[in-house]
Amino acid sequence: MTELGGQPVVFRAVAIAAGLLVTAILVAARRLKRDVELEDAEALLRAEFDGDDPSSERRP
């Protein structure tokens, strides 16, 4: 197997791919967090508008 700096090249490629994947997950998580916050705010507004208890609407 080809060696590069003491590590197999294949594993180095796998490590880079995994790093990119983790970065993608981090970016996606930030966007998802924003989406969830928007959903929560929307649920809160809807509950207030309907005159229900917001906490019970938000988390049954």
Partner 1 sequence: MSLVDDLFDFIGPRPVAAEERSRSRVLLLSAFAALCALVLAAVWGIAAGSSLRHLAIGNALTVPVLLMASSAAALPAGVVVFRMTVPGARGSHLVLGHAGATFGAALVLALLAPLVALFQYSSAWAGPAVALGSAVVGVLVGVLLLVRGLKKLSPDLDSRRKITAPAIVLCVLQLVALLQLAAIAPHVMPQRSVLGRGIDALSPASSTP
Binding-site ranges for partner 1 (CB under 8 A): 1, 6-8, 10-11, 14-15, 17-19, 21-22, 25-26, 28-29, 32-33, 35-36, 39, 59-60
CA distance 56 to 47: 9
Please give the DSSP secondary-structure letter assigned to residue 51. T
Tokens standing for 16? 């880079």
3-state secondary structure of 59: coil
Of the two residues 37 and 50, which places its CB atom closer to partner 1 in the complex? 37
Q: 3-state DSSP call for residue 41? A: helix
Q: Which residue's CB is nearer to partner 1, number 4 or number 50?
A: 4
**Of 51 and 60, which has the nearer Cβ to partner 1?**
60
